[in-house]
Every structure is written in C-alpha cells, then in structure tokens.
Structure 1
C-alpha cells in the first residue's frame, strides 16, 4: 500500500514538474512585443501671419494653431509644429519633412499641381492696407488697380500673383515676412500692402490710428490645408474631420475666436 502511495506521489511530482517546466519554456519562447512610440503629426507653419498663425509669448497661436491642436487630439497623436519661411512650405511637404501645411494657404491651380488640398474651411479674399493719410486716395479697387505707386506683398503668395497681374503700373515690392512689409508701409517705403482679408483686418486693428484699410475683397479665395498628393489616407481623414467640425461647431468656434467680425 505504502509503495503504491509513494509511486502515485512520485508520478504526481513528475507530472507537476513537467507542467512547470513546460510553462517556463512557453514563457521563455513567447515573443516580447515592443510598443512603438506614436509618431507626431508634423504641421508646417510660417508663424508670421496673424490671425492665421503667429507667435505670442513664445507660443504658437492663431486659427491654424488651434486647428492643429484640435486635430492632434482628435487623431491621438502628439503635435509638432515645424516652422519655416512661406516659400519653403511646399518643398518641405514634398520632401516628407512635414505631414500637413496649415498656414493660411489658399487653393490655387498652380499649387494643385504639386499638393492635394482638403476641403476649404474658409472663404476669404485679398484686401488692402494703407496709411491713414492715404485713405482718401484709395477708395475703390479701381484706384488700386491703376496706382503708379509701390505695392508690398509677401513673396510667393496669391497677393504677389495678383499684384503682378492686376496692377501693371505699380512697382511691386516683395517681402519674406509680414512685419517687414508692415514696417515698410509705416516708413513710407511702399504705399499699399495687399494680403488676405483676415490678415489685413488684424493689422488694422492693432494700429487703427496710423493705418486704414479698404475692406473690399479684390479676389475670392478658399483657404485649406495641403498634403502630399500620394497621401490619400491622410487627406481622407482630414476631410472627414473637417466635416465633423462643421457639424459640431468646432470650426465656427475657432474661426469666431480669431475673427470676431465673422458672421
């Protein structure tokens, strides 16, 4: 009897040992899965064009900055602003140094040859900023078309193209930064400054005693975000999010924050 009990115990221990050994072997053989860090969404901006995107107290702020933060939160990815001059935005996008251009860019046929645009989030047009002392001279778009004075624009923008085509008598001065063009206007180096309506309205509001504006659109333009032509997946995702924001009020809330005069 004792012998049978011993045999049963020995057999049980042997089976238990095999089970433990088997489990240990399984644990050793199970592959270790290393979770890859979530890659940030890289947003290309030129933070010199309030209220679209600019710097305030060392922070990137504005319409596009708020959109970018809301977008990153929506898709669950960290946000990385990549700052560069305006003329470098599209080349950087095509070189895969950024994922999206969110910098107040208007849709144009020329740009559509290189990038894919999302559905527009805003309709706007070019407007004109001037010194208050000249406000009685430039009272209509026709006066701007026919001026023989100098007009300031940012290089490579729709304002640059417009001035070259529509103001043949004027001397066109191009600038890289908005603040440089604004300084030139105040120092009487140029007579007019043409830019997107929201930018002109913002600049006017910051110094309405020295500056005046013709709040008559010279063009009709559509502002959107740009992605690489081969990134259909991201383009589709962005368009879906924009549609959702139109329905839930996110789009209007952010635009109204920075464009309080908007209906």
Structure 2
C-alpha cells in the first residue's frame, strides 16, 4: 500500500486520500502555510493543494516514506529542521551556498527563472538601471531578498522585506511599492489573478547569479542525514524516469519546470 501526506497541526487542515505501509518511515516535511500558487494553494475547505504538494506526495510514495506535511513559518523552517522539529523542507527552497552552511540539500526538483513585476503604467526592466530610485518588495529570508540586496541596494530607494510574497503583491497593488521580485512561476500566477491582471505586468527576468540564486530548488535535510537525502535523491530520479513527475507537472504547467537536465544539482 502507498504512502501519503497528512497534516498533524490544526493550523492547516490537509488531507490526501490513500494509505501507507505499516513499515514506512514517518518523517515531518516542513512548509510555510501561505499561499504560493501554483506550488501551495489552500482551498475553501482549508486543504493544501498545488504542484509542490503533489510532487512531494509523489517523491514520498516513491521513497516509501510516510510524510507528514507540517506547517512552519517560512523564516522558522531551517531552525525547525536543525532542532529536529521537522525532518525535511519541501517548500520551493533554493539550494544556495549560504544555506548549505546550515543544512544539506537533495538534488534539485525544479528550477525556474527569477522575475520582477510592476505597475502596467510604468515602463522599466529587471536591471539596476530599471530599478533605480524604486521601492522593491521581496520576501524575507529568500534568495530574492539576497539577490536584491546584492544587485539593487545601491540603486533602489528601498528594498522592502515582507513575511510573505502575498503581502508584497498586495502592497504593489496598493501602490506602496514600485516592484516586486520572486520566482517567475509564482508571479505569473499572481499576474493571472483578478488583481494582478488589473494592475501589473512582467518587467523582465533578472540576470543570472548562481552564487545567490543557486542551481534550483531542493529538499532541505539536516546536516549529515545522508540516508534521508539519498532516499529523496533516488525518488526524484525515479519519478522523473517513470513519468510521474511529468504527469503531475501537466496538471499545472504547459512546460517542464525541471530546468536544464545537464545542470549540476
């Protein structure tokens, strides 16, 4: 019988049909309980759905892990992992050298460009020249915040940090910031929303910076937990090979978000 994801915290009701083997290893998989469509979305019943939810389920099933999806605020995910409150993180967390000082990562399971959006009435691009004099909103403790501070701090009038990307999006709609930077897929979902369609458009993709943005998104595990890391790596490879990854992805995208097959993980 197959493994499945389930929620243990009342703060975020989550249910996926299925059953799990009595011998399956149970692990707590941390995620930030905030809307980040199409990766994490909460429906009217309080259940969490989305591409990353489904991919996490597929990876756990393949690895024969009984994964308990556990809500933790974004900036508390790494501390919770290090103190063994959770066993893994699967929450669009980019693999970076800075984070690898604290935790280990699996191989990537997706990689998409970083974008900047702004008001339709304003014409500028995703370069230091385009951001000059503007207030740029980013989510705290993300690669986007690190990138903005490195590449735009000298030219932007302010780099404003938010606890969630949704808060940055809402301030953009309200005119309290001039632009926001985040993953291109998440921002595309916002631009397709009623609010996003009305107010904003894509200004462009930021220039690559492998040191800051990393090679993609991976599952975070505790330092030295090679057994879990190896299980997740094998499962990622398997779902790519057996078509499950593509099956899930087609529900949300019309392209493969895995990124370059030849890129280093």
Alignment TM-score, normalising by the size of structure 2: 0.78
Residue 217 to residue 39, structure 1, CA distance change in 2 (3 Å): same
Question: For the Cα contact (< 8 Å) 2:58–2:239, is it kept in 1?
Answer: no
**2: CA distance, partners of 1:113 / 1:74:** 28
**Which residue pairs with 2:197 in the alignment?**
208
Q: Please give the per-residue CA displacement for 1:175-219, whole angstroms capped at 9, x wherever unaligned.
A: 001221111001110000000111111111113232201242433
CA shift, 1:40, in A, is: 2.9
Counterpart among 58, 69, 79 of residue 91 in structure 1: 79
CA distance in 1, matches of 2:143, 2:229: 23
**Is residue 50–residue 202 contact of structure 1 (8 Å, CA) maintained in 2?**
yes
Do residues 184 (structure 1) and 171 (structure 2) align? yes
- Answer with 69-78 or 44-53: which moved more: 69-78
Asked whether the equivalents of residues 108 and 219 of structure 2 are also in contact (C-alpha less than 8 Å), the reply is yes
Q: How many residues align?
A: 225
Which residue of the partner structure matches residue 113 of structure 1? 101
Aligned partners of 1:131, 1:153: CA distance in 2, in Å? 16
Partner SS for 2:91: strand
The match for 2:150 is 165
The corresponding residue for 2:240 is 246
Deviations 1:95-123 (CA, angstroms, capped at 9, x unpaired): 11111100001111000111111111222
Preserved CA contact (<8 Å) 1:43 1:79: yes
Q: Report the aligned-residue RMSD.
A: 2.0
Other-structure match for 1:8: none
Larger radius of gyration: 1
1:42 matched to 2:53: no
Instruction: Name the structure 2 match of 1:196.
Output: 183
User: Is structure 2 residue 110 aligned with structure 1 residue 122?
Assistant: yes
Q: Match of 1:120, SS?
A: strand
Unpaired stretches in structure 2, ≥5 consecutive residues? 1-21, 258-265
Higher helix share goes to which structure? 1
Where do 4+ consecutive residues of structure 1 move more than 4 Å?
36-39
| Per-residue CA distance 1:131-163 (angstroms, 9 max, x = gap) | 2112xx21353433x421100000010110111
Indicate conservation of the 8 Å contact 1:41/1:72, yes or no: no
Which runs of no fewer than 5 residues in structure 1 stay unpaired? 1-35
1:100 pairs, out of 69, 72, 88, with 88
Decide whether the 8 Å contact of 1:107 with 1:223 is kept in 2: yes
2:40 aligned partner:
53
- SS of match in other structure, 1:73: helix
Q: Contact 1:41–1:79 at 8 Å: present in 2 too? A: yes
Displacement after TM superposition at 1:81 (Å): 1.3
1:255 aligned residue (230, 249, 257): 249
TM-score of the pair, normalised by structure 1 = 0.79
Say if 2:127 is the partner of 1:141: yes
How far, CA to CA, are the matches of 1:216 and 1:196 in structure 2?
Answer: 10
